[in-house]
Structure 1
Amino acid sequence: MQARFVAMEDGFRLDYAGRTLLVHTAARPAFTFGVGVPDVQMYRGNFQITDQASDFPVLTVATIAPQSISMVGEDGFAVELTLTGTDTGFDFSIVTSEATPPTALPANAPGARCNRISVALEAAPDEHIWGGGEQLSYLRLNGRKFPMWTSEPGVGRDKSCELTRIMDAEGMAGGDYWTTNYPQPTFLSSAQYACHLGSSAWSALDFSDPARHRIDVWEGNLTLEFLFAGSMADLVSALSTRFGRAAPLPEWAISGAIIGLKQGAASFDRLEKIRSAGAAVSGLWCEDWVGIRETSFGRRLFWDWRWRADRYPDLAAQIARLHADGIRFLGYVNPYLAIDGTQYAEAAERGFLALRQNEDAPYIVDFGEFDCGIVDFTNPDAADWFAERIIGKEMLDFGLSGWMADFGEYLPTDLRLHDGSDPMLAHNHWPVLWARVNARAIAARGKTADAMFFMRAGFTGVQAQCPLLWAGDQCVDFSRHDGIGTVITAALSSGLVGNVSSHSDVGGYTSLHGATRTPELLMRWAELGAFTPVMRTHEGNRPDDNLQVDSTAEILDHFAAMSRVHAALAPYMRALVAEGAATGLPLQRALFLHYPANHDYACCQDQFLLGPDLMVAPVIEQGATSRQVLLPGEDSWIHVWSGETFSGGAHLVHAPLGSPPVFARHASPYAAVFAALAKARGPIAEGTAK
């Protein structure tokens, strides 16, 4: 089925598969424009952005030729739009030709005053919309507006809750339902098409009007790309091909739990305690390998990216010992340099730091009781220096097999970059440049199949660089907009735009204003983590105040059991990783990707398919010992813990700690792997952790 532009008496429309996607007439303009002056306030990665914008005058069609054209045809299509009732002489054009992709719709407003464009697409009453990058609160986007600006997501992310109000008062840090580390101006429609905005400017996907989907962008030109497919799964695969695919996860990363500890040399003793309890472990992640910095927020790191012998004596020998025992060592890095570290001075001397706008001095960012410079990745020499000098020599050559590549969201909009680019356009693209530095460092050492990094920040194109997302800094609770459940939504939404693998901090991260982990929260998160591509723990920002996986015998036994389940899934996970590399399909999938006929699945964001053959419905409500599970009627399903067969439909499933509702598709070729999960877990004593 071809998409076609069709000329109308005073405009044109774009049709596909019997549905009109876009109409532009004088009475119903699809394209409007204006002039704006942004006001951007940033405090520690949290943004308040407002705009002083003109009204959007109506545009009318001046010329259109030819009368009708297929988007996949060989001829070009041109539309010239001019202002109504103005004397600015402003022109706006849409031109496609053989030089542009057949599904691309480039629009250009060359007038010097225009820096705002809005496009309205036609919506249908029965249409479902998803996408927007990595969304944390809502999988289905209908009825809401989603600004696209990478930032700290905030704490609480719910303006009606006390924690969010406190954090807003303390530093704009409460967030909202749409704030995210990884936005992307791409949406998917249940009409089996996707639309992508080709701009890194501030933009918004607005689905609040049931009649029209609106895309706003703060730039004087844009390209809309449309992709079409015969199924939603094929559409996701097409998006993955469009944006690119990163290297697959290495074998060790999916073969056991990665234990996050930051206790210096004592971390090795704690690791042995966890292993002695029967945990299946494939990695030790010590983000404090670079040293620590105690702040009022909690235990932070010293941002000078090199081994600190005072905290980890004889670390190289310890890494070698772990490696010989089948365990990899992971660290931490981010793209900023503390001004009291040695690498900051080196970067400043070489001219590798972003500068203040009106002077040749490094731009300094306050990260919360310490200041940092920004390595300017628009300078190719600076990017090469970071990849080789820091990641290559200090990390890979030292023996690290992986790391958290943190941050990427903090690029201010009032600095000066090496390539002269506008920071308002560079801000969203910054995480992609950061991901590219990490991927380049690994490739240069020939370790693409053996080492990995994981990121929380992203934008269009990060899919081709970063092999593993992590869902950011959730609160250590069950809250609706910032707790355990949001990491499911994050994985499903990011997977729809071409990111194959996602995971989260088991136990959450943010502990502020008296919020601390409960045994129940930690154990439920371990159950969820066992059925994600990578199972990794984190001690959080206040490790001394919070329960850890080895804090009590009950928690440790439970965690060890779940880690064994994760390890037992490795043959199936390995196949999914290979499938993702070949097709771009994510490992964690929204139900509608495989079962599009059931409209109840459009909004389902509290359970997921792990590949095509496992239905995972984690318990994400405090105090719950059962939960409702949706099972597609096209298949029969086997409860992996009891072996009981379930038919399709909604079922209330008993779910004590240690037995999260997980079902295997009856006809799966991996039936033997799934049947072994209960044995790998071992016996579980029913009860409720307090």
Structure 2
Amino acid sequence: FPGVPRESVLFDDLEDRGWLLTGDDGNAFVFDGVPENGNVPFGLLDLTYKDAYAFWVERHHQLVDEGVSAFHSSFPVEIPDAVSARNGESGALLRELYPLLLRRALFDAVSMNKTPTEGVVPSVDLIMAVQRVAWQKTPASANDWDGLTQWLRQGLSIQASGVIAVTHDLGNPEQLDGDTPLDATLYLRMLGLCVFSAGFAFQAAPALLPSAYPEDIQTKIRTLLELRYRLIPYINGVIEDAVRTGLPVQRMMALAYPDDAKARAWDQQYMLGPALLVAPVLQPGSSVNVYLPEGDAWWDLNLNQRYEGGQVLTVECGLDSVPVFGREGHMLCLGPVLRHMGEFNSARILDEVWMFGMPTHNPVVMRNKIRVMQMQGSSYIKGLEGLKILQSDGLEVKRRGAEVRISRER
């Protein structure tokens, strides 16, 4: 938050330099305090001015050097028409420009000295130019089943609006009943939805941490988290692909299948990248209805069973799993089971490959080094040396070093 408290030496110093937004009288404009800064009156750093912008970037890069990995951008301020920047920007132009400059400055601080330049600056501000920002946090929702459904719809709508990835917080700490944890079934379904998203974070509130639950529930939580760690190569690959193509990480049915009129009505399921159809459980119970879009065949990841598209299935789902279907012709690349990111080995990101029928598409995987070629009724895949391959029924797999030949059983 780029507010400088009015009663501070820094305010006077920055006002003398002309680094704060000004009012009609030419002096630094003093805004009323907001909850984010303890309701203390403040001035705003003029990020349109290159020296003030560089000052803001450098201060935050110092925090990165001290161990901060990401910043959450928040700008809960309405800039009045009377406020002007150094080069004359004011009114609607300044209101649109300022939040973008704020996020770009924080990105520059996080990505400084990195090759390639990369970093994450999540935000909940749905400004008009939000499409220019890769990451967005979904607004907080209620800690109940209706809130879980709203949470999913918000995330899908934001991504369909041009934001390629959203992150979630697991639960809303502001709506807790003291230290009482959420219903265990609801908590596990929330976590299942998080596992198949671009990113999520546990909340530091004790009632929202896995340790708030008995050991049998913690075992189910560990199962879901192990799956999340294994999905890292695929999810990171989807994010990289989204940056190139503009297609979001989580794609609502109407976006993923615009020619399938039936699919548009199924707004509580989505595609995670090009290969996975996810139908999270959003109500009490263990069953969920899933629509499999027509034009493709689908493989149930939990049962390894094939279904033709264009039909509705009722799927039973345990608390430690999520109904997920693989799209035929695609592959899912998984990493090893990890306990924490400190065990992540960037030189060995893949451990296993799941095939959904005869592969016809190059797999989505972080730093893709796997290629699929089709010839003589077979698929040849290079770059699979040492990986375990789980093929679909009816296929033969013959390995020769790093090259794998896949053909139909005869």
TM-score (ref. length: structure 2): 0.71
Partner of 2:170: 506
Equivalent residues in 2 for 1:145-294, closer than 5 Å:
none
Q: Check if 1:578 corresponds to 2:260.
A: no
SS at match of 1:365: coil
Q: 1:424 offset after TM fit, Å?
A: 3.7
Q: What is the CA distance between 1:588 and its match in structure 2?
A: 0.9
Give, in angstroms, the shift of residue 527 of structure 1.
Answer: 0.7
Q: What letter is aligned with 2:140? A: D
Which letter maps to 2:182? R
2:21 corresponds to which of 335, 349, 354: 354
Q: Deviations over 1:634-670 (max 9, x none)?
A: 2222222222333331122112311221111232122
Identify the residue that residue 313 of structure 2 maps to in structure 1. 651
Q: Within 5 Å, give how 1:294-305 maps onto structure 2.
A: none
The residue that corresponds to 1:252 in the other structure is none
Q: CA offsets per residue over residues 30-81 of structure 1, 9 Å max, x none?
A: xxxxxxxxxxxxxxxxxxxxxxxxxxxxxxxxxxxxxxxxxxxxxxxxxxxx
Q: 1:387 maps to what in 2?
A: 57
Structure 1 residue 673: Cα displacement: 4.0
2 CA distance for matches of 1:471 and 1:345?
37
1:55-204 matched pairs, under 5 angstroms: none
Asked if 1:548 is matched to 2:209, the reply is yes
The aligned residue for residue 396 of structure 1 is 64
For each residue in 1:58-107, what CA deviation from the matched residue of structure 2 results, as whole angstroms up to 9, or x when unmatched? Answer: xxxxxxxxxxxxxxxxxxxxxxxxxxxxxxxxxxxxxxxxxxxxxxxxxx
SS at match of 1:535: strand
- Percent identical pairs in the alignment equals 22
Cα pair 1:637 1:647 within 8 Å, conserved: yes
Distance across 1 between alignment mates of 2:8 and 2:322: 46
Q: For residues 359-400 of structure 1, what are the alpha-carbon distances to aligned partners after superposition, in whole Å with 9 as ceiling and x for unaligned?
A: 724423332353253323233322221112x2112x222233
| Equivalent position SS for 2:288 | strand
Conserved? CA contact 2:72–2:123, under 8 Å: yes
Q: Closer, same or farther in 2 for the Cα pair 1:474/1:341, shift >3 Å?
A: farther
Instruction: Tell me how far apart the structure 2 counterparts of residues 335 and 434 of structure 1 sit (CA, whole Å).
Output: 8
> Secondary structure of the equivalent of 1:582?
helix
The match for 2:89 is 421
Q: 1:568 is matched with which residue?
A: 230
Q: Quick one: which amino acid aligns to residue 532 of structure 1?
A: S
Q: Distance in 2 between matches of 1:656 and 1:525?
A: 13
Task: Tell me what 1:459 maps to.
Answer: 127
Change (3 A) 1:485 1:459: same
Q: Distance in 2 between matches of 1:447 and 1:351?
A: 34
Pair 1:491 & 2:155 matched: yes
**SS where residue 436 of structure 1 aligns?**
helix
Pair 1:400–1:516, CA change in 2 (3 A):
same
Partner SS, residue 451 of structure 1: coil
In 2 relative to 1, CA 508–599 (structure 1 residues): closer, same or farther, beyond 3 Å?
farther
Counterparts of 1:375 and 1:600, CA distance in 2: 51
Which secondary structure state, in structure 1, belongs to the residue aligned with residue 114 of structure 2? coil
Q: In 2, are the aligned partners of 1:392 and 1:445 still within 8 Å (CA)?
A: no
- Cα drift, residue 615 of structure 1: 0.6
TM-score, with length taken from structure 1: 0.44
| Cα pair distance change 1:604/1:435, threshold 3 Å | farther
Q: Which residue identity is paired with 1:583?
A: T
Say whether the 8 Å CA contact 1:354–1:362 is kept in structure 2: yes
- Which residue among 183, 186, 200 is the counterpart of 1:535? 200
Partner deviation per Cα, 1:249-297 (whole Å, 9 max, x = no partner): xxxxxxxxxxxxxxxxxxxxxxxxxxxxxxxxxxxxxxxxxxxxxxxxx
Distance 1:340 1:375 in 2: 15
Which ranges of structure 2 fall in alignment gaps of 5 or more residues?
A: 334-351, 357-410
Q: Deviations over 1:293-346 (max 9, x none)?
A: xxxxxxxxxxxxxxxxxxxxxxxxxxxxxxxxxxxxxxxxx3334557786566
- The alpha carbon displacement at 1:568 in A equals 0.9
Task: Output the CA distance in 2 between the equivalents of 1:502 and 1:442.
Answer: 18
Does the C-alpha gap of structure 1 residues 559 and 512 become closer, same or farther in structure 2, counting only changes over 3 Å? closer
Kept after mapping to 2: 8 A contact 1:631/1:650: yes
- Distance of 2:12 and 2:219 partners within structure 1: 47
Aligned partner of residue 528 in structure 1, secondary structure: helix
Structure 1: distance between partners of 2:166 and 2:121: 12
- Contact 2:189/2:281 (<8 A) preserved: yes
- Aligned residue for 2:290, secondary structure, equals strand
Q: Which has the higher strand share?
A: 1
Quote the Cα distance in structure 2 between the aligned partners of 1:338 and 1:517.
38
Q: Name the CA distance, whole Å, in 2 between partners of 1:612 and 1:531.
A: 13
| 1:590 CA drift (Å) | 1.7
User: What secondary structure does 1:502 align onto?
Assistant: strand
Is the 2:181–2:212 contact (alpha carbons within 8 Å) kept by the matching residues of 1?
no
CA distance in 2, matches of 1:556, 1:354: 51
- Which one scores higher on RCO, CA 8 angstroms, separation ≥ 6? 1
1:455 shift after superposition:
1.8
Rounded Cα–Cα distance in structure 2 between residues aligned with 1:658 and 1:342: 55
Q: Name the counterpart of 1:595.
A: 257
Whole-angstrom distance in 1 between the partners of 2:29 and 2:177: 35
Counterpart-to-counterpart distance in 2, 1:474 and 1:429: 28
How far the C-alpha of 1:528 sits from its partner, in A, is: 0.8
Distance (whole Å) between structure 2 residues aligned to residue 631 and residue 340 of structure 1: 61
What is the deviation of 1:456?
A: 1.8
Letter in 2 for 1:398: E
Distance in 1, Cα, partners of 2:75 & 2:130? 11
- Native 8 Å contact 2:6 2:30 kept in 1: no
What is the aligned length? 332
Q: Secondary structure at the match of 2:159?
A: helix
CA RMSD of aligned residues (A): 3.1
For 2:113 and 2:316, the matched residues in 1 are separated by 49
Distance 1:364 1:396 in 2: 28
Per-residue CA deviations over 1:160-217 (Å, capped at 9, x if unaligned) read xxxxxxxxxxxxxxxxxxxxxxxxxxxxxxxxxxxxxxxxxxxxxxxxxxxxxxxxxx
**What is the deviation of 1:551?**
1.4
Q: What SS does the corresponding residue of 2:331 show, helix, strand or coil?
A: coil
Distance 1:420 1:675, change over 3 A: same
Structure 1 residues 307-318: aligned runs within 5 Å? none
Tell whether the 8 Å contact from 1:353 to 1:363 is kept in structure 2 after alignment. Answer: no
Residue 613 and residue 412 in structure 1: after superposition, are their counterparts in 2 closer, same or farther (change >3 A)? same
